[in-house]
A = this chain, B = another copy of it.
């Protein structure tokens, strides 16, 4: 029971209000707020509620994993976060809509993989799976889940495109501000403050979930845990990825591997682009035997070198595919790039796809895929009016296509007790426990970093892959960002660039990659927290305790040619994020000689020097070409490998301690490849830094769970001088 609302008084107020309106209006009775029915909330799990009305179509949760119930229960309960009787629904012949209350100071985050901005208040979005290109809500992963700064999240569990108005659009019967005469008044706003989030779908009903939390992070944790927690990638997935030119043969790959060795660059995954197939765009999914005469041998050879093979595909089936005859009965009315589109809501279609892939790729050791173009532009993909043999709506199938692909292959790999780490270009609700990372054709570096922050608010992982650069400076800057992301990939097959293509920064690129590799124990443990507690390893600053979003409204000056409505522009910090529990990452973009960083409350230290840099303030630093700015929280404990040589058995650690605050840290490890950790096959230790009587920090190590995966010896590094 929400302590803030007194239902009797409210009911009386609503009645009075209706009476007044009816008296005033007469005719307009059906436009009163009474037209909207109160949503009936039912508790699903501690801190999670559900309401629904009408029918729903294809259920997005058919393609997500099961909740981690125990972990959700461990978070405890919290009260329903807003006045229930202010949450309302409406069904009209054309659509279903809801209205949820919003406080004046409340900020809203999330709504999927956005490349611009963090705060979603005062905007409207059409959440449509599409290429990202500037249309609000059109993106690779338009997840209809938002997080309130007041400590709750709302998920609209629909496979229809959700239109959502976040604090814009005032009902006439709502608590609306006084109008202002624009000619004479001050503070006239093109978007007056509204007291609600309103959302609709073109369908006959909706299902809504509310997730609470004591913090925004806890909201995200509950959301992720509800879908099985976060993925733990195989260790190779956290290494270096490189994609070959589409016309490369097996011999070209071997030559490329030699080049990497020669230039002393690590290499963990080789990605093969369309040309590994006998036909592509649409795809045959069959090996091109001229370029790869013996795929099995090829994959084994690479495996022996510790290199995994990842295959590019889009799901559109070419008539020449050996899979064509079997899948064709289950394809939709329209083709994409002249290939047929399997209807993966049909189990038989899933089976045909999986059987073909098992037989031809997975059985010989292929580690995963890069599923392209499951997002698509309208000019390329099937139209909304396409039909599918299952009878499911084309719009809903498009919205869920990426999720279906992840689900099909995710289940397969799980059955094989083998982890994949794959790429996909669309996702939707509840993707956190799928072993897939998103990417995009959009290539703005700053937008990529914003997307990395936003991905954590939507249960997603995202890679700011590198394709090309106009300068050596851009080259190293992009490498720095991708090295501090969930998947470190060079995807420059078309430009032909190699890590060493800009000789003046080759050493810097190598050092950056090496730093990322050394941080593996830290990063891997962060993924463990993702898996167990739903804490994203890469996080938007708004999920951080003590972070005060530095947001200002700029502009707003009337300009009849450029800004006729005197619209203000929100200036917010979108270019920094957290990695793991203690590290704040602040990427630098080409041309930036200095940059500012907003530090959450608490003392912060330079990662490289251990020097104190500030506390709950905005600092400005001079950038260095060779360094991505990294800052560590007071007490930060950072375990790092001493050696990143794949052929070395050296598993000894340097454990860095920053600042002067006592702290504990959970160090996780496992076999790095299987799901045995779910059965308890892992090592867990506690790293502690305690103050001695002399006021010095002292490190200690305690094995919490015996396992076969403990690291070697530890050297403690005290990064910060006392006082």
Contacts and interface: CB of A to CB of B under 8 A. Distances in A.
Interface of A: 24-28, 30-31, 35, 90, 92-95, 97, 122-124, 126, 134-135, 163, 165, 168-173, 176-184, 188, 190-192, 198, 200, 202, 246-247, 274-275, 277-282, 288, 318-320, 328-335, 337-340, 377-380, 382-389, 391, 393, 395, 441, 443, 467-468, 491-495, 558-562, 564-565
Given A28-B389, A30-B387, A191-B380, A179 B35 contact: no
8 closest A-B pairs by beta carbon, nearest first, are A27-B329, A97-B385, A200-B385, A494-B560, A183-B275, A182-B281, A179-B338, A124-B378
B335 A172 contact: yes
Contacts of A126: 378
Contacts of A468: 559-561
Contacts of A279: 179, 181
A28 B331 contact: yes
Nearest to A57: B94
A122 B387 contact: no
A171 B337 contact: no
Given A124-B383, A382-B169, A495 B560 contact: yes
B379 A168 contact: yes
Contacts of A173: 333
Contacts of A190: 337, 379-380
Given A94-B393, A318-B179, A328 B564 contact: no
Contact of A191 (B165, B274, B379): B379
B28 A328 contact: yes
A378 to B, nearest CB: 4
A179 B275 contact: no
Nearest to A467: B560
Given A30-B391, A379-B122, A25 B328 contact: yes
Nearest to A491: B560
Contact of A92 (B334, B337, B393): B393
A385 B25 contact: no
A330 B31 CA distance: 10
A571 to B, nearest CB: 18
A319 B179 contact: yes
Given A329-B28, A338-B179, A387-B31, A560 B200 contact: no
A80 B384 CA distance: 29
Which of A165, A173, A338, A379 gathers the greatest number of chain B CB atoms within 10 Å?
A: A379
B385 A564 contact: no
Which of A176, A319, A383, A386 gathers the greatest number of chain B CB atoms within 10 Å?
A: A383
A64 to B, nearest CB: 23
A179 B387 contact: no
A337 B179 CA distance: 7
Contact of A31 (B31, B388, B467): B388
A395 B26 CA distance: 24
A449 B117 CA distance: 34
A166 B183 CA distance: 45
A278 B135 CA distance: 37
Given A279-B179, A385-B90, A468-B560, A24 B334 contact: no
Given A168-B379, A382-B169, A491-B560, A192 B389 contact: no
Contact of A561 (B202, B282, B443, B559): B443
Contact of A335 (B170, B182, B274): B170
B384 A340 contact: no
Nearest to A170: B335
A242 to B, nearest CB: 14
A701 to B, nearest CB: 46
Given A168-B379, A329-B25, A493 B560 contact: yes
A181 B281 contact: yes
B339 A179 contact: yes
Which of A135, A340, A378 gathers the greatest number of chain B CB atoms within 10 Å?
A: A378
Nearest to A284: B181
A27 B94 contact: no
Contact of A559 (B24, B378, B494, B565): B494
A216 B202 CA distance: 37
B393 A93 contact: yes
Contacts of A134: 134
A332 B31 contact: yes
6 contacts: A27-B330, A28-B330, A90-B387, A95-B384, A183-B275, A184-B247
A281 B177 CA distance: 13
Contacts of A135: 135
A198 to B, nearest CB: 6
A332 B172 CA distance: 8
A331 B31 contact: yes
A190 B316 CA distance: 13
Contacts of A558: 494
Given A179-B339, A387-B31, A561-B468, A395 B94 contact: yes
Nearest to A562: B443
Contacts of A337: 179, 190, 192
A537 B173 CA distance: 47
Contacts of A28: 328-331, 389
A334 B389 CA distance: 40
Contacts of A559: 468, 494-495
Which of A122, A181, A247 gathers the greatest number of chain B CB atoms within 10 Å?
A: A181
A64 B652 CA distance: 81
Which of A35, A163, A165 gathers the greatest number of chain B CB atoms within 10 Å?
A: A165
Contacts of A26: 329
B332 A387 contact: no
Contacts of A395: 94
B200 A384 contact: yes
A183 B274 contact: yes
A389 B30 contact: yes
Nearest to A204: B93
B385 A31 contact: no
Nearest to A92: B387
Contacts of A202: 94, 202
Contacts of A123: 379
A312 to B, nearest CB: 11
Nearest to A377: B124
A124 B379 contact: yes
Contact of A383 (B163, B180, B191, B335): B163
A340 B176 CA distance: 12
Contacts of A280: 181-183
